[in-house]
Amino acid sequence: MTDISTDILVVGGGPAGLSAASEAASYGARVLIVESDLQLGGQLVKQTHKFFGSRDEYAGTRGYKIADILLSEIKENEQNVKVMINTTVTGYYSEDRTFTAMSGEESYMCIRAQRAIVAAGASERLIPFPNNDLPGVYGAGAVQTLMNVYGVVPGKRVLMVGAGNIGLIVSYQLMQAGVEVAAVVEAMPKIGGYWVHAAKIRRLGVPILLRHSIKEAVGERVVEGAVIMELDDKFAPTGQELRMDCDVICMAVGLSPTTEILSQAGCRMKYVPELCGLVAERDRAMRTSNPDFWSAGDATGIEEASAAMVEGRIAGLCAADSLGLPVKMTKLDEYWTRLDHLRAGEVGSKIRAGIDKVYRDKWEVRLDG
Amino acid sequence: MELIAEHPVLDASCFKRGEKVEFTFDGRSMDGYEGAPIAVSLHANGIRVYRETPEMKRARGFFCAIGKCSSCFMVVDGVPNVRTCVTPLRAGMRVETQHGRGRAAITAMLSE
Ligand SMILES: Cc1cc2nc3c(=O)[nH]c(=O)nc-3n(C[C@H](O)[C@H](O)[C@H](O)COP(=O)(O)OP(=O)(O)OC[C@H]3O[C@@H](n4cnc5c(N)ncnc54)[C@H](O)[C@@H]3O)c2cc1C
Ligand code: FES
């Protein structure tokens, strides 16, 4: 078993992790980024559309190009950054302050880090229905990986479940890839995503069926179709059903923060519906109740890439500071101004309410130092 | 292979495709691109069933494509339970449908 040591371990190489690594490395910290995917960039590499968000965080640029920008920024401090792809952080042993990781399928290692920034993003949810395990029932992320990263056609005709931003955007991306979208079904009485995205696919003739959900997937060994059903005000089936042909059922029913490592590290966690799941309590530095752990991005609550990048910078800056490196702490106020700006107004109200529940002004003094 | 031919935003150079290589799936020879995940390469060849569950014998394909759900386990070069959605394809790989839990080759383990 190999042993590796580093100043700061960054778990996850998406926009949050890359920003954290870049920030910390720019002040001289030795950083190791561990990413389980075959490339860096997280969700960004799968996104072909122009991003919303703030100017400072490259709004208007296509997702996969934002990943390139972050990677070139990392290059500037290359001497301080080590990257391991196709490697998953699998556990943390607090007694030894050691992480375990698995590279590929059969090679294991120990990582000793003084500090850790967990930016592990999110995982997709699935909803229960008969045959939801049939091949062809795919997460939206999987469909995006197939078509946008590797250029493989995911199917001929897709039923999209969920009309939030992800469901709408992926529907449009499917059409760009030449795939037919049979319909988008949404259990809620209104579209969850931005109106522009809905308008785009409606214009192309795709029906968005509100108050509808999937009843079951149809098929013997693979998906051959789906039965969809109408729902009433109380989300109970009205009895109206429709069978449609499709070879892919794409699930875009939400994400949950990935936080297992933080739980293992004993960070104080709380279930916050507004942030879509179990997340760590954090202070202004994005530090958790375990003084060696920071967190940033979707792992701290499902939000968006702009905020993930700023949170990553905050975590990187403060983790470097905690190592005694000469950092520009005035940056912290600047980053918070950007975050407040991103979370302002009606759209940000849910996120703000969620963060209020896990934000701590300061941690009580710890006896074990 | 079922590949995207034309795209309004992405051109072929955007797709992560290494050298064209050959591999086998349950003994059948197939083409794929080196470095792309095995599961993606199979999908491009129209293969969507990767394993069969131990008790109910249900077919499984992939679901998350990020190595988190274990839906895509297959036997690769004799090694069972390989997450094919995050394992890169190499020339000459022997990929097989996994039936049940999969068995590790005891001799291989002893010789390590
Ligand atoms: C379809 C879609 C459209 C979107 N559109 C926009 C948009 O227009 N504007 C916008 O601002 N945002 C958008 N977003 C949201 C944005 O992509 C995410 O909020 C952002 O990627 C979160 O960044 P992150 O770094 O926290 O997580 P991720 O990008 O998910 O990265 C986390 C990384 O951590 C890795 N990882 C996880 N666990 C481990 C482990 N144990 N060991 C090693 N590595 C691990 C994962 O493989 C992943 O690469 C969109 C998302 C989707 C799905
Ligand atoms: S598809 Fe989920 S682990 Fe491979």
Q: Domains of chain A: which residue ranges?
A: 2-123+255-358, 126-251
Give chain A's mean pLDDT. Answer: 94
Dihedral, CA of residue B100, residue B102, residue B106 and residue B111, to nearest 10? 180
Dihedral through CA B55, CA B58, CA B59, CA B62, nearest 10? -80
- Among B72, B87, B98, name the best residue to mutate to test ligand 2's pocket (greatest count of ligand atoms within 8 A of Cβ): B72
Burial B79-97, CB ≥16 within 10 A → b, else e: bbbbbbbbbbbeeebebbe
Q: Is A19 in the pocket of ligand 1 (CB under 6 A)?
A: no
Decide if A52 contacts A59 (C-beta within 8 A). yes
Domain span at B86: 18-111
How far is it, in rounded angstroms, from Cα A77 to Cα A116? 19
Whether residue B68 has pLDDT greater than 60: yes
Number of domains in chain B: 1
Ligand 2 atom closest to Cα of B83?
4
The letter for the amino acid at A167 is: G
For tokens 């179990």, the residue is: A278
Q: Give yes or no for residue A177 having a pLDDT over 60.
A: yes
Residue B5 placed within a domain: no
Mean pLDDT of B54-70: 92
Residue B107 resides in a domain: yes
- Where are the extended beta strands (E) located within A232-341? 237-245, 248-251, 255-257, 269-272, 277-280, 293-295
CA-angle at A354, arms to A350 and A359, nearest 5° = 140
| Rounded-to-integer distance, Cα A47 and Cα A67, Å | 10
The structure's pTM equals 0.93
Contacts of A106 in chain B (CB under 8 A): 79
How far is residue A171 from each of residues A60, A119, A152, A176, measured CA to CA in Å? 20, 27, 16, 9
Helices vs. strands in chain B: H and E counts, helices first: 2, 8
CA A14 to ligand 1 center in whole angstroms: 6
Equal CATH topology for A2-123+255-358 and A126-251: yes
Among the listed residues A307, A312, A304, the one whose alpha carbon sits nearest the alpha carbon of residue A56: A307
Terminal-to-terminal C-alpha distance of chain A: 31
Q: Is A84 a pocket residue for ligand 1 (Cβ < 6 Å)?
A: no
CATH level 3 topology of A126-251: FAD/NAD(P)-binding domain (3.50.50)
C-alpha distances in Å from residue A127, one per residue of A124, A130, A176, A216, B59: 10, 10, 27, 11, 19
CB contacts, 8 Å: A133 with chain B: 58, 60, 71
B contact residues 39-68, partner A, Cβ 8 Å cutoff = 40, 43-44, 48-50, 58-68
Paired with A230 in beta bridges are A212
**What Cα–Cα distance (Å) separates residue A262 from each residue in A7, A23, A117, A126, A288?**
18, 21, 10, 23, 9
CB within 8 Å: B61 and A178 = no
- Look at residue A252 and tell me whether its pLDDT is greater than 70: yes
Shortest Cα distance, chain A CAs vs residue B16, angstroms: 5
A145:B65 CB<8 A: yes
Contact criterion met (CB below 8 Å) for A296 and A311? yes
Distance CA(A35)–CA(A41), nearest Å, equals 9
CATH number at residue B38: 3.10.20.440
Nearest residue to A279 via CA among A362, A357, A364, A349: A357
Pick the closest to residue A36 from B62, B65, B86 (CA basis). Answer: B86
Residues of B with Cβ-Cβ distance to A150 under 8 angstroms = 15-17, 33, 36-37, 40, 44
pLDDT of the residue at A60: 83
Tell me the ligand closest to B60's alpha carbon. Answer: 2
Note whether A138 contacts B62, CB cutoff 8 Å. yes
Banded model confidence at residue A369, pLDDT cuts 50, 70, 90? very low
Phi/psi of residue A139, nearest 5 degrees: -70, 150
Residues of A in contact with B50 (CB under 8 A): 135
Is B23 within the bounds of a domain? yes
Listed residue (A116, A111, A113, A115) closest to A4, CA to CA = A111
Tens of pLDDT, residues A36-53: 999 999 999 998 888 877
Residue B24 in contact with ligand 2 by CB distance below 6 A: no
In a domain, B7, yes or no: no
Measure A321 CA to nearest chain B CA, in Å.
33
Indicate if the pLDDT at residue A367 is higher than 70.
no
Q: Is the CB of B81 under 6 A from ligand 2?
A: no
With respect to residue B63, please indicate whether it lies within any of the assigned structural domains.
Answer: yes
Do the chains contact at A176 and B7, CB–CB below 8 Å? yes
3-class DSSP state for residue A72?
helix
Please, what is the end-to-end C-alpha distance for chain B in angstroms? 38
Contacts of A206 (CB under 8 A, 6+ apart): A171, A175, A181, A183, A184
Cα separation, A315 vs B77, whole angstroms:
42
> Quick check: A102 pLDDT over 50?
yes
Tell me whether residue B2 is exposed, middle or buried, using C-beta atoms within 10 angstroms of its C-beta: 0 to 12, 13 to 18, 19 or more.
middle
- Which of A87-96, A98-107, A300-309, B4-13 has the weakest average pLDDT? B4-13
Contact of B75 with chain A, judged by CB distance below 8 Å, is answered with no
- DSSP-assigned letter for residue A367: T
Q: Which residues of A37-72 are buried (b: 16+ CB within 10 A; e: fewer)?
A: bbebbbbbbbbbbebbbbeebbeeebbbebbeebbe
Pairwise CB contact (< 8 Å): B10 & A48: yes
Structural Rg of chain B based on CA atoms: 15
Q: Answer whether B4 sits within 8 Å of A105, measured CB to CB.
A: no
Please determine, for residue A90, whether its predicted confidence score (pLDDT) is greater than 90: yes
- B56 falls within a domain: yes
Q: What are the backbone dihedrals phi and psi of residue A84, each rounded to the nearest 5 degrees, phi first?
A: -125, 115
Query: What is A2-123+255-358's CATH number, 3.40.309.10, 3.40.50.1370, 3.50.50.60, 3.40.50.2300?
Result: 3.50.50.60
Cα dist from A264 to A2, A95, A118, A361, whole Å: 22, 11, 12, 23
CA dist., res. A253 & res. B89, Å (int): 30
Q: Residue range A314-341: average pLDDT?
A: 97
Within-domain flag for B47:
yes
pLDDT at A162: 97
For the segment A297-321, the average pLDDT, to the nearest whole number, is 97
pLDDT at res. A92: 97
CA–CA gap between residue A316 and residue A309 (Å, rounded)? 10
